[in-house]
């Protein structure tokens, strides 16, 4: 529940410092009952999700993902509300609920590093990044934790300018604000207080060698471990083999270029280390369920259709919803 605090604090301070009711919100749970927190405390809800008033900005936030008895009804309700809400946001594991409700297909999604690989595999038609947050047309996602404040102030700044953001940051004692394209800091830990530099080095090598991919043996040699040790590190911390993780990085880079540049499919395939356009297309289809050309066409159509809806209203009134953590 630590992500809820920065959301409410930022909105409260925006109203207080500006002297106007810039934001109004309701705190909702699925059934209207208080949500139990760690340590026996409870988070009170203003209403059940189904009773919430129509809003301009829906924020779904939870600190852990756990299905409950009525979760299918919740997903159906979330899908309906999401389709008619100008701006929909998921924070931390709230992103999982939005993805399960079909609200994040073909959007850039900032997923917490702990669940990055699992989320990427389960929701292949999302564009998963390791940024601290993403704002993509009428959808926004935030990895949670400290990034929540960065995200909220960025959203407030888009509507009300940097001066108000600076005053809120000063009031909260936030000396440095991060932009959304900053990457999450991934603590590869082997024991309390110890980092695992070899795994970190291997990931940096992969990201630095997208166009000319290294073999697993070459990566292991560069970071000073055996191939078997490297595979064990990847399985332990990322739940994936090095080659599969590396391929995912290259395909994610390719997808980003397809959607953000005018490069041809052949140019992108070569830039991302594929020996032929056919090999690239097959790997891309296996990963995302569509060919590169189909994905680019879908992206263009989605972008043109989503821009008008996102601009329909300013996100002044909001609803925050928290699914119950247990039945």
| HEC letters along 59-114 | EEEECCCCCCCCHHHHHHHHHHHHHHCCEEEEEECHHHHHHHCCCCCCCEEECCHH
Is 316 within a domain?
no
Residues 33 and 77 in one domain: yes
Q: Output the pLDDT for position 227.
A: 95
Q: What DSSP line would sit under 179-246, residue for residue? A: -TTSBPP---EEETTEE-HHHHHHHHHHHH-SSSPPPHHHHHHHHTS-HHHHHHHHHHHHSS-HHHHH
Is 231 within a domain?
yes
Alpha-carbon gap, residue 225 to 231, rounded angstroms = 10
Residues 168 and 121 in one domain: yes
Query: What's this model's pTM, rounded to 2 decimal places?
Result: 0.61
Alpha-carbon gap, residue 46 to 26, rounded angstroms = 6
Q: Among 132, 156, 172, where does a domain finish?
A: 172
Is 30 within a domain?
yes
Is 326 within a domain?
no
User: Range of 100's domain?
Assistant: 3-172
Residues 139 and 284 in one domain: no
Residues 285 and 247 in one domain: yes
Other Cβ atoms closer than 10 A to 55 = 24
Tell me the CA distances in angstroms from 100 to 49, 105, 133, one per residue in order: 17, 10, 19
Question: DSSP letter at 68?
Answer: -
Residues 245 and 283 in one domain: yes
Is 113 within a domain?
yes
Q: Among 139, 172, 205, where does a domain finish?
A: 172
pLDDT tens for the 327 residues of the chain, in order: 457 788 989 999 999 999 999 999 888 888 888 876 655 667 788 888 888 778 899 999 886 666 667 788 889 989 998 888 999 999 998 999 999 999 999 899 999 887 877 888 788 888 888 889 999 999 999 998 889 999 999 999 989 998 999 999 989 887 778 888 787 766 544 443 344 678 888 888 888 888 899 999 999 999 999 999 999 988 887 778 999 999 988 998 888 788 767 889 999 999 999 989 899 999 999 988 899 999 888 877 765 543 322 322 333 445 565 555 544
Residues 47 and 146 in one domain: yes
Is 309 within a domain?
no
By the 8 A CB rule, do 84 and 104 touch? no
Residues 136 and 39 in one domain: yes
Q: Output the pLDDT for position 244.
A: 92
Q: Output the pLDDT for position 303.
A: 56
Residues 159 and 20 in one domain: yes
The domain that contains 243 carries what CATH number?
A: 1.10.10.60
Is 177 within a domain?
no
Q: Output the pLDDT for position 194.
A: 43
Q: Which residues contact 120 (CB under 8 A, 6 or more apart)?
A: 111, 126, 128, 248, 252
Is 124 within a domain?
yes
Residues 115 and 213 in one domain: no
By the 8 A CB rule, do 208 and 201 touch? no
Total number of domains constituting the chain: 2
Residues 168 and 240 in one domain: no
Residues 25 and 104 in one domain: yes
Query: Torsion angle of alpha carbons 165, 168, 170, 173, nearest 10°?
Result: -120
Phi, psi of 193 (to 5 degrees): 85, -5
Angle between helices 227-238 and 242-260 (to 10 degrees): 60
Alpha-carbon gap, residue 116 to 130, rounded angstroms = 8
Alpha-carbon gap, residue 80 to 75, rounded angstroms = 9
Residues 239 and 168 in one domain: no
The domain that contains 155 carries what CATH number?
A: 3.40.50.880
């Amino acid at each position: 529940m630590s992500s809820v605090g920065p959301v409410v604090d930022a909105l409260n301070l925006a109203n207080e410092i500006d002297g106007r009711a810039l934001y109004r919100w309701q705190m909702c749970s699925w059934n209207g009952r208080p949500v139990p927190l760690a340590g026996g405390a409870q988070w009170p809800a203003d209403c059940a999700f189904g009773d919430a008033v129509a809003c301009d900005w829906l924020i779904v936030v939870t600190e852990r993902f756990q299905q409950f008895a009525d979760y299918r009804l919740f997903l159906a309700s979330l899908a309906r509300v999401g389709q008619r809400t100008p701006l929909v946001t998921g924070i931390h594991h709230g992103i999982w609920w939005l993805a399960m409700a079909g609200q994040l297909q073909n959007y850039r999604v900032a997923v917490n590093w702990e669940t990055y690989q699992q989320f990427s595999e389960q929701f292949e038609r999302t564009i998963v990044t390791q940024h601290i947050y993403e704002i993509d047309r009428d959808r926004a996602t935030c990895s949670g934790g400290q990034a929540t404040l960065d995200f909220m102030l960025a959203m407030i700044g888009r509507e009300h300018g940097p001066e108000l953001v600076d005053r809120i940051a000063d009031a909260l004692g936030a000396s440095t604000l991060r932009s959304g394209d900053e990457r999450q800091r991934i603590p590869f830990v082997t024991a309390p207080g110890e980092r695992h530099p070899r795994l970190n080095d291997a990931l940096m090598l992969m990201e630095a060698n997208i166009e000319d991919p290294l073999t697993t043996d070459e990566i292991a040699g560069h970071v000073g471990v055996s191939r078997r040790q490297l595979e064990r590190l990847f399985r332990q911390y990322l739940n994936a083999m090095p080659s599969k993780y590396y391929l995912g990085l290259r395909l994610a880079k390719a997808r980003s270029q397809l959607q953000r540049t005018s490069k041809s499919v052949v140019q992108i395939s070569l830039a991302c280390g594929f020996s032929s356009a056919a090999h690239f297309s097959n790997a891309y289809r296996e990963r995302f369920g569509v060919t590169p050309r189909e994905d680019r066409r879908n992206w263009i159509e989605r972008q043109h259709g989503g821009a008008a809806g996102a601009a329909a209203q300013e996100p002044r009134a909001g609803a925050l919803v928290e699914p119950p953590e247990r039945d």
